[in-house]
Amino acid sequence: MSRIKVMTVFGTRPEAIKMAPVVLELAKYPEMITPVVAVTAQHREMLDQVLSLFQIEPHHDLDIMCKGQTLFDITCRSIQGLNQVMAQEKPDIVLVHGDTTTTFAGALTAFYHQIAVGHVEAGLRTHNKYSPFPEEMNRKLTGSLTDLHFAPTGTARENLLAEAVGPESIFVTGNTVIDALKATVDPAYRFADNILQQVDYATLKIILVTTHRRENLGEPMRRVYQALRDIAAEFSDKVEIVFPVHKNPLVRKVVQEELGGVSQVKLIDPLDYQPFANLMARSHLILTDSGGIQEEAPALGKPVLVLRDTTERPEAIEAGTVKLIGTDREKVYAATKLLLTNQAEYERMSNACNPYGDGLAAARIVKCVLWKYGLTRERPGQFCGGK
């Protein structure tokens, strides 16, 4: 039987979390697939946390991250490094994920080598070029270079069809983040971290916060942190705010200025995925500008207030578990206060729902690759949720 070489390319924390199930699935078919893992390491520590949790040892590590890197740095360094890796490995297909600059650079480099591209988490759109920046364009540009589109939901499929992508190249798979989440959340999990062990989960309402979006750097983030300070002061005996702060020095500076030393606010380093996912499961509500967390929290029945003006993930908003509130200080304060004081509103938003996946996305993606290359006759099934 002939074999194919499948190269996965990723570089940041969320790509690693969402590609890990695919990497592990590819390894299950050694007689048909030669897997190659190439990481740009656009993130260093935050990528390594995920690689070690899922025990993935990349065949190629470009180690491109530098402090305060610009989009130009990431793009140029990724393309130069991936050019050499792809020239050497000559894969049949390159799988990229999502919307980062690594994603776009991976797809572009594969295209220059005339290697097929598979896009995992394809078809998400805000239709706003600058929000999120640069992710919306990274997705669109990657989509233009893609041969196999793995759309997580029916909505994502429709976005691609509206851009005249051929239906035969789109497969609705569910989102691999739900595969990763299901493998990670465990009610019996015990935090190793002292700070997390000492949090009073039984009597306090835990508000989990993350922020990192480029378009929120500076004043928008400052306004959010000021709103959190207001909440911490008003509900000092009822809430604990836990904030794993992104490694970006521009984020950390403003966080320290506004929230350093505020009691009821625990500022900690980014958590490994296992404690983070289990912390989500024990939180009361989540404030975030993250993309992935908007997909995970609904599966855990946790209300999410999204600190952004747009989202490419409308499914959970439609289901009522996610609300888009932006970064205005008053609005963030009011939306958070509402969920802390109005039980009916809280219950309305905390219904668990799973529009993004069923935990089988990676298996569908790999089956689809095998089918496309004629290595199996079994036509891959598709994920029916999300629309």
Residues found near ligand UDP in the complex (CB under 6 A): 13-14, 17, 177, 210, 212, 244, 270-271, 273, 276-277, 290-293, 296
Helix/strand/coil for 285: strand
Instruction: Name which of residues 218 to 247 contact ligand UD1 (CB under 6 A).
Output: 247
Choose among 13, 49, 19: nearest CA to 36.
Answer: 19
Query: Is residue 285 a contact partner of residue 261, using CB atoms and an 8 Å limit?
Result: no
What tokens does 74 get? 């990431």
| Side-chain half-sphere CA neighbours of 333 within 13 A | 15
Instruction: Establish if 101 lies at the interface with ligand UD1 (CB under 6 A).
Output: yes
Task: Report yes or no: 33 and 2 within 8 Å, Cβ to Cβ.
Answer: no
Q: Which residue has the tokens 């995970």?
A: 296
How far does Cα 218 stand from its chain's mean position? 22
134 scored as a contact of ligand UD1 (CB under 6 A): yes
Of 61-69, 78-86, 219-227, 369-377, which segment contacts ligand UD1 by CB under 6 A? 61-69
Nearest to 178 by CA among 85, 287, 294, 90: 294
Shortest reach from residue 354's CB to ligand UD1, in Å? 22
Nearest approach, Cβ of 48 to ligand UD1 (angstroms)?
A: 8
Note whether 216 binds ligand UD1 by CB under 6 A. no
Q: Residues 334, 154: contact at Cβ < 8 Å?
A: no
Q: Of 63-71, 199-207, 228-236, 322-330, which part binds ligand UD1 (CB under 6 A)?
A: 63-71
Secondary structure element (H or E) that encloses residue 287, with its range? strand 285-288
Minimum separation from the CB atom of position 208 to ligand UD1 (A): 16
- Determine, following the binding rule CB under 6 A, whether residue 248 of this chain makes contact with ligand UD1: yes
The letter for the amino acid at 220 is P
Structural contact between residues 206 and 199, judged by C-beta atoms closer than 8 angstroms: yes
Among ligand UDP, ligand UD1, none, the one that 296 touches (CB under a kind-dependent 5 to 8 A) is ligand UDP
- Comparison of 43 and 266: residue with beta carbon closer to ligand UD1: 43
Distance CA 202, CA 87 (A): 55
Pick one of ligand UD1, ligand UDP, none as the site partner of residue 293 (Cβ within 5 to 8 A by kind).
Answer: ligand UDP
Single residue of 5, 54, 69, 262 touching ligand UD1 by CB under 6 A: 69
Residue 12 is a binding residue for ligand UD1 (CB under 6 A): yes
Q: Say whether residue 252 binds ligand UD1 (CB under 6 A).
A: no
Active site residues: 99, 121, 135, 212, 214, 246
Position 283 contacts ligand UD1 (CB under 6 A): no
Q: Given candidates 2, 55, 67, 378, which one binds ligand UD1 under the rule CB under 6 A?
A: 67
Smallest gap, in angstroms, from Cβ of residue 322 to ligand UD1?
17
Nearer to ligand UD1, 46 or 206 (CB): 46
Instruction: Choose the contact partner of 277 out of ligand UD1, ligand UDP, none; CB within 5 to 8 A by kind.
Output: ligand UDP
Residue 244 touches which of ligand UD1, ligand UDP, none (Cβ within 5-8 Å per kind):
ligand UDP
Dig out the tokens for 356 from the structure. 């993004």
CB of 177 to ligand UDP, least distance (A): 6
Q: Which of 3, 5, 34, 44 is the binder for ligand UD1 (CB under 6 A)?
A: 44
Residues 6 or more apart from 271 whose CB is under 8 A from it? 193, 196, 244, 279
Give the orientation angle of helix 45-53 with respect to helix 273-282, to 10 degrees.
90
If one asks whether residue 68 binds ligand UD1 (CB under 6 A), the answer comes out as yes
Q: Minimum Å distance from CB 67 to ligand UDP?
A: 17
C-alpha 73/C-alpha 86 separation (Å) is 20
Our CB check for ligand UDP shows the closer of 134 and 291 to be 291
Is the separation of the CB atoms in 111 and 86 below 8 Å?
no
Enter the DSSP assignment of 62: -
Q: Which amino acid is at 199?
A: V
CA–CA gap between residue 321 and residue 356 (Å, rounded): 13
**Tokens 């089956």 correspond to what residue?**
367
> What's the min distance (Å) between Cβ of 65 and ligand UD1?
6
Query: Where on the chain is the footprint of ligand UD1 (CB under 6 A)?
Result: 12-14, 42-46, 67-69, 71, 74, 99-101, 134-135, 212, 214, 247-249
